[in-house]
Amino acid sequence: MQAINPKVSIGLAVYNGEEYLQEAIDSILAQTFTDFELIISDNASTDRTAEICQAYAAQDERVRYHRNPTNIGGANNENQTFKMSHGEYFRWAADDDICAPTLIEECVKILDQDPSVVLCYSNTILIDKDGNRIEFAEITKAESNDAYQRFRAIAKSNDRCEQTYGLIRSKVLRNTELEQNYTNSDRTLLAEIALYGKFYEIPEYLFYKRFHPKNMYIDWRTRMAWFDPSNKGKIVFPWWLQFFDYLKTISRTPLSNTDRLRCYFFMIEWLLIFGKKMGKDLIVALFMILHTPNWRKQRYETTSNWT
């Protein structure tokens, strides 16, 4: 019988993921570490997602299936899986990725052995729609004992944020505001988690991140509709939202006065790095204002393909 409070919780948020969903779930259920719950939150899918998930829930008591009556947005759905979890450690999963059988076991070992580590992930291989290797992922390390240095490393990086799929201490994640409704907010969340402790990278390739036509960036700003469907057609400012979210993150996280001040000063550097992108937000906003709401909605339809 499944434990009421498993050691690990895995949250899989999905929307119309029938193409790769079974392979993703199978790789989770095949883990050598078995004391986990798999929470699947279906964002009102219109394909065979519900049928697939219900079949797994009926076969394996570790699987819990929840279906939202309406699409609540991708980030909100991911956050919901964490809010429904009970485990000491938590990991987000995607409906199109693959985990090697020992991934969870190896991550649990590290978190159990070293309390200074708050997030553990493995080396990552990027694969295409058919599962063929594209390249090895370059992942920013946050291994310093200095909270400021960890925050700075994550916040100024330009990697794919694959650490998001690491195993995280739930007590740390509960102290955050989780993922917010703007593009690249997963990086802001990682930077906040890094203020609480170190990240650890397992030197083995135990995670396979899939890239395919339905999860490739086309437009940075129209992807805001994935985070919140009501954004479709709206004029948005994702880089400005991230800047102010970083400031709020620094203010609310328990830090020494010195570290807090250092993080605030870093945001001046951040502006020098990403200021052009903030300027582009303003230029795109002006461009969008010159068009009708219907035209803007059509632009979102043609450039926002992320499910």
pLDDT tens string, the chain, 307 residues long: the values are 455 789 999 999 999 999 999 999 999 999 999 999 999 999 999 999 999 999 999 999 999 999 999 999 999 999 999 999 999 999 999 999 999 999 999 999 999 999 999 999 999 999 999 999 999 999 999 999 999 999 999 999 988 899 999 999 999 999 999 999 999 999 999 999 999 999 999 999 999 999 988 787 778 888 899 998 999 999 999 999 999 999 999 999 999 999 999 999 999 999 999 999 999 999 999 999 999 989 998 888 888 766 6
| 240 located within any domain | yes
Q: Is residue 32 part of a domain?
A: no
- Residue numbers of the domain that contains 249: 224-303
Partnered with residue 125 across adjacent β-strands are 136, 208
Is 234 inside any structural domain? yes
Residues paired with 91 in a beta bridge: 10
Residue at 83 is within a domain = no
Q: β-pairing, 63-67 with 36-42?
A: parallel
- C-alpha 238/C-alpha 222 separation (Å) is 10
Number of domains making up the chain: 1
Q: Quick one: tokens of 109?
A: 């070992």
Does residue 254 lie within any of the structural domains?
yes
Residue 85 lies in a domain: no
Global confidence as pTM: 0.95
- Report if residue 255 sits inside a domain: yes
Residue 9 domain flag? no
